[in-house]
Amino acid sequence: MILFPAVDLKNGQCVRLEQGDMARATVFNLDPAAQARSFAAQGFEYLHIVDLDGAFAGKPMNAHAVEAMLKAVTMPVQLGGGIRDLKTIEAWLDKGITRVIIGTAAVRDPELVKGAAKQFPGRVAVGLDARDGKVAVEGWAETSHVTALEIAQRFEDAGVAAIIFTDIARDGLLKGLNLDATIGLADRISIPVIASGGFASIDDVKALLEPRAKKLAGAIVGRALYDGRLDPAAALKLIRSAV
Computed over its alpha carbons, how large is the radius of gyration of the chain?
A: 16
Would you say 10 and 40 are in contact if contact means Cβ atoms under 8 Å apart? no
- The DSSP 8-state label assigned to residue 215 in this structure reads T
To the query of whether residue 187 is one of the catalytic residues in this protein, the response is no
Would you say 17 and 172 are in contact if contact means Cβ atoms under 8 Å apart? yes
To the query of whether residue 8 is one of the catalytic residues in this protein, the response is yes
Query: Other CB atoms closer than 10 Å to residue 63's CB: what's the count?
Result: 17
Pick from 194, 139, 173, 171: nearest CA to 10: 139
Q: Strands, DSSP E only, in the chain?
A: 2-10, 13-18, 21-29, 47-51, 77-80, 99-102, 124-131, 134-137, 142-147, 162-167, 193-196, 216-221
B/e letters for 194-224, b = 16+ CB within 10 Å, e = fewer, are: bbbbbbbbeebbebbbeeebeebbbbbbbbb
Among candidate residues 8, 51, 53, 204, the one labeled active-site is 8
Q: Strands, DSSP E only, in 19-123?
A: 21-29, 47-51, 77-80, 99-102
92 vs 134: CA distance, rounded Å: 28
Among candidate residues 51, 53, 129, 204, the one labeled active-site is 129
- State the catalytic residues: 8, 129
